[in-house]
Structure 1
Amino acid sequence: MPQKIGFLGAGRMASAMISRLLEQGYPVKVWNRSLEKIKPLVAKGATACNTPAEAASDVDAVISFMADDIAAEAVWLGENGALCAMTPGALAIECSTLSHGFVLELSNKVMTAGRLYIDAPVTAVPAQVAAGETMFLIGAEKVALEQARPIMEAVANRIVHFGPVGSGTVYKLMNNLLGAVHIAAAAELVAVAQKAGLDGNLVADAFANGAVASRAGVMTIPGMISGNHNESIHFTTALRAKDAGYAMWLADELGLDLPVGRSATEMFDRAIEAGFGDLAQSAVLETVRSR
């Protein structure tokens, strides 16, 4: 009998993971602030819930996929939050990209309440999640990970256990900061190429097949070339800026100066100030053009 799952969130990544779990035969209860986003999942077999607590009651594991610390705190610890309704010994699987400090704070409260906590951010885009090609970046005690492993193997083709709670988030934050650096640098490449009159399609092809190609750059350069920042949005400018900001907080905690990361973070912050937060990450190009 598959473990029963409560799911908090129904955004792009969350919906892809829920769909995958349903396909694999897992019963899933779902809460989301917008009930409209749950309807397609209900059509696939999920049960809609009115509160996080309702989604977390009578399940073996609660999975959260929230945008940031504030949203995660509300669904776990707020009024009608999930933690108060969870069965003792149940799993709290936090897939959101959160700040390192908040992960440690949240995990302490969850474990003090007698539940198991897994720091489980992922690295993938929605299409990969739906296809079962997720990579989990785990920070957890081994007993918690083994209890969660069947669920994770239903949606992932790789599970990397970095160590105790918080270590998965350390890697995820630096991974996403590196993505911000790659995208910011790609924006500078495209801005110069366009200003110099190079053919955009040739630029995209040369980059994708060259020695310095990165997945982040390959994914975002076509949007920069076309200027269609509101199409095929896998990850928004605002979310990239948030993750990069959390990564810089972590560096500060560790007493490290990251000048390259800081520069990329500032570029994304400027893109938000210019009103591009809800658009695709390719919109960071506009901050280069406007200099």
Structure 2
Amino acid sequence: MSDKVAILGLGIMGAGMAQQLLKAGYDVTVWNRSPARAAPLVEAGARQADSPAEAATGASIVIAMVSDNDASRAAWVGPQGALAAMRAGAVAIDCSTLDPHWIDALSADMKAAGIHFVEAPVTGSKVQAESGTLRFFVGSDEESLALARPVLDVLGSGVIHLGPAGSGAVMKLANNYMAGVQVASFAEALALVEAKGLDPRQVADVLRNGAPGSPMVGLMADRMLERNYDPNFFISLMAKDLGYADALLDSVGISSTLATAARARFLDADAAGLGNKDISAVVETLRKA
């Protein structure tokens, strides 16, 4: 297979992934709904395509990193979608956080077209994408994963093969469900102690080093205390992921008041104009001063 790789979606994650592939010497073609985002990558040596289909033409591997089910659907099977332009035997990798029901449908479309399909949502954010240290939650057959692995090894530091297509989406939604609940609950706790006049730095230190502590709590404490909301993970996307997680939980008979409540916090922050800020900014709608 050739070393031509197409990247569909140049948000925080997709742009970092494209940079890593360029550094590794791959022939990279990029596409994004907002074409201006491709400019730094074109300067670094990528080619820019006007559509997913154009980006995928002649590529041995096509990677999508987009915002949601609708964006994934448009990129792969919409008008000028990539799938129709891919040759049989090529590899499609979707690294987006998606609903497993859509993954099932997409996997069937890929199989019918003779395309190797790997769903590989990631754990990690901007720093990991830019440094090639993402971890991938993979749902795939062994043959397809073997074909995708050289590129995944450039982009990340670990591949966790969980089972067939759809398995990665379940893992990623479980992961983001727990993360979203932690962020929302820590935001509420921090806003509480601030409102009651306690020293928030002292309280945050107790919480991060006590029984409730976790890597996520430590990260959120730093960002919320400094009010540093440069985006690593958008509030709007966490709201979306918690919605997908809530529906997935419901599909197995688990009615999750936790997912619903946490999602409401992120939806409130989105409605307050914070949707493109980091998830840590969810605390701002709770602060009293």
Q: TM-score range by the shorter chain?
A: over 0.9
Contact preservation (8 Å) 1:133, 1:156: yes
- Shift, 1:266, TM fit: 2.0
Q: Is 1:236 the counterpart of 2:234 in the alignment?
A: yes
Q: Deviations over 1:197-246 (max 9, x none)?
A: 22333334333333422222222233322445xx3211111000001100
Structure-1 separation of matches of 2:150 and 2:2:
8
SS in 1 for 2:161: strand
Compare 124-133 and 180-189 and name the one that shifted more. 124-133
Aligned to 1:147: 147
Q: Is 1:109 the counterpart of 2:70 in the alignment?
A: no
- Shift, 1:107, TM fit: 1.3
Aligned to 1:46: 46
Structure-2 separation of matches of 1:282 and 1:149:
33
Contact preservation (8 Å) 1:123, 1:135: yes
- Shift, 1:96, TM fit: 0.5
Aligned to 2:259: 261
- Shift, 1:63, TM fit: 0.0
Aligned to 1:273: 271
- Shift, 1:35, TM fit: 1.8
Paired letter, 2:256: L
Q: How many residues align?
A: 288
Contact preservation (8 Å) 2:231, 2:276: no
Contact preservation (8 Å) 1:3, 1:151: no
Structure-1 separation of matches of 2:215 and 2:264:
21
TM-score normalised by structure 2 residue count: 0.94
Paired letter, 2:131: A
1:124-135 equivalences under 5 Å are: 124-135=124-135
SS in 2 for 1:93: strand
1:159-238 equivalences under 5 Å are: 159-228=159-228, 231-238=229-236
Among the aligned pairs, what percent are the same residue? 40
Contact preservation (8 Å) 1:98, 1:246: yes
- Shift, 1:64, TM fit: 0.1
Q: Is 1:34 the counterpart of 2:34 in the alignment?
A: yes
- Shift, 1:38, TM fit: 0.7
Aligned to 1:248: 246
Structure-2 separation of matches of 1:238 and 1:24:
32
Contact preservation (8 Å) 2:2, 2:60: no
The alignment's C-alpha RMSD in Å is: 1.7
Paired letter, 2:156: A
- Shift, 1:106, TM fit: 1.2
Q: Deviations over 1:102-141 (max 9, x none)?
A: 1111111111111111111000011112212110000001
Structure-2 separation of matches of 1:25 and 1:212:
44
- Shift, 1:85, TM fit: 0.4
SS in 1 for 2:138: strand
Compare 63-72 and 255-264 and name the one that shifted more. 255-264
- Shift, 1:250, TM fit: 0.8
Compare 59-68 and 41-50 and name the one that shifted more. 41-50
Structure-1 separation of matches of 2:278 and 2:149:
33
Unaligned runs of 5+ in 1: none
- Alpha-carbon distance change, 201 to 289 in structure 1, aligned in 2, over 3 angstroms: closer
Structure-1 separation of matches of 2:116 and 2:258:
37
Which of 280, 283, 291 is 2:281 aligned to? Answer: 283
Contact preservation (8 Å) 1:2, 1:26: no
